[in-house]
Amino acid sequence: MSTQDVPKTCKVILAETIAKGLLAEVKDTLKSIQKDNEGQPTLVAFLANDDPAAVKYAEWSKKTCEENGFTFDLRQVDKDKLEEEIMNANEDNKVDGIIVYYPIFPGNPAHDRYVQETVSLSKDVEGLCHKHIYNMYHNIRFLDPPHNLKKSILPCTPLAVVKILEYLQIYNSILPYGNRLFGRTITVINRSEVNGRPLAALLANDGATVYSVDITGVQVFTRGQGIKQPRHQVQDKEGWTLEQCIPISDVIIGGVPAESFKVPTELIRDGTVCINFSSFRNFDGPAIKEKASIYVPSVGKVTIAVLLRNLVIFQNILTLVQRLIANRPSTNKDGSTDESTQKAKSEAFVDG
């Protein structure tokens, strides 16, 4: 066989390919829960920065929403008025979900976290409210245990990466749910509170050994020896850098928001799976195709699909809970009012 006949070893997978399956699921679910006379679910997006990546993401979101039965309402607001505008959207019954494009205050991440808390839990389709974040870090999958009707929402970009790994069959479906990354070593190059840290936690909670890397150093996220812990633990890796993490990784996930940064290709072992979730290319395109077995150059369209999936989950939960509670009798056998059922009905049919 000549050199020219040697088959390519790297498969490039586009986000659009993966998003199609998720969007089909979203459309089917939406169709099953919508009544004939109901309007489209409305997603309100707040843009309070001039980040070109956020603008591009908003354009993709609008297009995807309109193609899949959703109304997308982009509201460009001054950052000083953002909190008030979010509060208004929280109270607006015509708004089904809210997203905010971050960062808003790049030099003050605590202020961004405050904004995240401003969004109502019932409209937080990004999964960034305290309750959603707490559940994610503690590996709690539902908002209402032990009934387990209300699924806890996960942050969109980290969940998009998880869905990509599932699509690529990095998750081992033979293993029990929650342990399907057992035996995998993954490096995540980003530890932001919105993307990198939640992603490392999600992957570790599913059984992986995750090296989380940022400019301050390396941390390892695991569920302990033999994944015996119920949720991930974090340890600092003193003296470690990318040079120690990359060569031992089955999967490398780049999320550095800088055009100048590139993952050192020479450190990557043959057959590694490489995924880029930064708005900049963290991998050297031509070179990575000589090393990686699978390369996903971007995740944006999967992130948008996950966003709509989260919104549909909210709609489905509301419909299911309302139907279940509406069908319960409101009176006891002796004819007296069942106060607990009345209270449940009241709570089920309000925003909260």
Q: Are residues 313 and 297 in the same domain?
A: no
pLDDT higher than 60, residue 342: no
The verdict on residue 294 lying in a domain is yes
Whole-number Å distance between alpha carbons of 191 and 117: 20
Q: Are residues 51 and 132 in the same domain?
A: yes
Q: Are residues 224 and 289 in the same domain?
A: yes
Q: Are residues 292 and 321 in the same domain?
A: no
The verdict on residue 34 lying in a domain is no
Q: Are residues 98 and 167 in the same domain?
A: no
The verdict on residue 190 lying in a domain is yes
Q: Are residues 113 and 228 in the same domain?
A: no
pLDDT higher than 90, residue 179: yes
Range of the domain at 276: 158-301
Residues assigned a catalytic role = 156
The verdict on residue 344 lying in a domain is yes
Q: What is the pLDDT of residue 109?
A: 86
pLDDT higher than 50, residue 348: no
Q: What is the pLDDT of residue 151?
A: 86
Q: Are residues 151 and 163 in the same domain?
A: no
pLDDT higher than 50, residue 345: no
Whole-number Å distance between alpha carbons of 253 and 200: 10
- Whether omega before 103 lies within 30 degrees of 0, making that bond cis, reads yes
Q: Are residues 147 and 171 in the same domain?
A: no
Strands 209-214 and 217-222, bridge-based pairing: antiparallel
Of 58-67, 213-222, 247-256, minimum mean pLDDT range: 58-67
Listed residue (36, 9, 3, 4) closest to 270, CA to CA: 9
Q: Are residues 178 and 72 in the same domain?
A: no
pLDDT higher than 70, residue 327: no
Q: Are residues 130 and 179 in the same domain?
A: no
The verdict on residue 75 lying in a domain is yes
The verdict on residue 26 lying in a domain is no
pLDDT higher than 90, residue 4: no
**What is the count of structural domains for the chain?**
2
pLDDT bucket at 97, cuts 50 / 70 / 90: very high
* pLDDT, tens digit, 9 for 90 and up, residues 26-71: 999 888 877 765 778 999 999 999 888 888 889 999 999 999 999 9
Q: What is the pLDDT of residue 207?
A: 97
Whole-number Å distance between alpha carbons of 10 and 271: 8
Q: Are residues 169 and 259 in the same domain?
A: yes
Q: Are residues 183 and 171 in the same domain?
A: yes
Q: What is the pLDDT of residue 201?
A: 98
The angle that helices 156-167 and 196-205 make with each other, rounded to 10 degrees, is: 40
* pLDDT, tens digit, 9 for 90 and up, residues 123-167: 999 999 999 999 999 999 888 888 888 889 999 999 999 999 999
Q: What is the pLDDT of residue 242?
A: 97
